[in-house]
Structure 1
Amino acid sequence: MKVRALDHIVLCVNDVPATRRFYERVLNMESREERPGKWSLHFGTHKISLQGAVTSPSIACETVPGSGNFCLLTDTPLEEFILNLKRQGIAIVDGPGERAGAMGKLLSVYFKDPDGNLVEVSNQL
């Protein structure tokens, strides 16, 4: 067996509506209600599913808000993206700096979402 691609990730969050608003505003993602009360964020061909911290028991019941850490690629020049973060009052945790990505070198900046998940946004170098 060979893994081909990443289909989606799941973030456990304290406040699904606040998380949706953050990702819509900061990263221009589209939120969709997949079924009643079950929301996800979409960008390109990718998806981030949102799991409320206070939900009915599920297979992911021990997941806690703020434990996510993921990288998103953008074609927007990183300097422009950083200015947008600053305009919105979002603190930069680290960067910009060079990192190793799945397909080569990246120039990355890191910030936290409302739950403390670490979000890395990068340009491929």
Structure 2
Amino acid sequence: MHDEAMIAVVDNDESVRMALDSLLRSTGYTVRTYAGAHEFLFSDGPVITSCLISDIQMPDMDGITMYEQLAARGIHIPVIFITGNPYAQRPPGKSAHTPIAFFPKPFATDKLLACIETVLTRPD
């Protein structure tokens, strides 16, 4: 199942992107990384992604706004937010779909992997 799942990582911090890329690839996932929300939104990422891991605070556009833009386009990807600022968590706008989880940085990788596995194995 892992080889069919595309995990997108959106974070302006290159070290976080590379660490998540390495972790996820080591467990068998296909991964694409993006340095910001605009880069993700204007790529083929939204249509090929099975699960999105996104930072909340990024300079070009915050992760919640990116999530809301995806929902406005009718694209409903399960999103796991990561953040270095626990006060950055604000509820997304009105959408039938809600983010799966919020993980503060640094996060426990085993919990993140378990969350991804739950997202990918749940029925739609």
Which has more strand, going by share of residues?
1
Q: Which has the higher contact order (CA 8 A, sep 6+)?
A: 1
Larger-Rg structure: 1
TM-score (norm. length: structure 2): 0.31
Structure with greater helix share of residues: 2
